[in-house]
Amino acid sequence: MLYSTGMRVEEIIQLNIDQIDFNNRECIVFGKGHKERIVYFDAKTKVHLQDYLKQRMDKNPALFVRLRHPYNRLKDGGIQLILRKLGDKLSIKKVHPHKFRRTMATVAIEKGMPIEQVQNLLGHEKIDTTMHYTMVNQSYVKISHKKYIG
């Protein structure tokens, strides 16, 4: 969900189940400054979210909750802990939620998505912020140069 949508961790922990539109694979989030925006998720994320929700035994409206009773809304630290443990299992260092957001932005740019659309997806007011997020691979710069310049 973090990678597919590019959401901030604060946005994902505030998300409720009723904000998810599975038919259109989108949800409304409230970003910095309580600004509303639509984010989109891929088909794989849809399947995983639906499977996750089928397994839940609680009535909490939050999309992501703790695994143990009282099944409270998952917090920032909980997501960070889960990702750190997953990273340790896979021998990957420095796994944190924001890395998924940056990676999504970088991959989108590398695949040709216009920077203005990436800016919109991430909820950035200034395009400079979006440009700072994306780490452009030099080999893609060379390919683009050949394609557009010659």
Residues recognised as catalytic: 8, 32, 98, 101, 124, 133
Rounded to 5 degrees, what are φ and ψ at 95?
-90, 120
- Residue 71 falls in which region: left (phi positive, over 0), alpha (psi -120 to 50) or beta: left
What ranges make up the beta strands (E) of the chain?
A: 20-21, 26-30, 36-40
DSSP 140: H
Cα separation, 22 vs 117, whole angstroms: 22
Cα separation, 119 vs 96, whole angstroms: 21
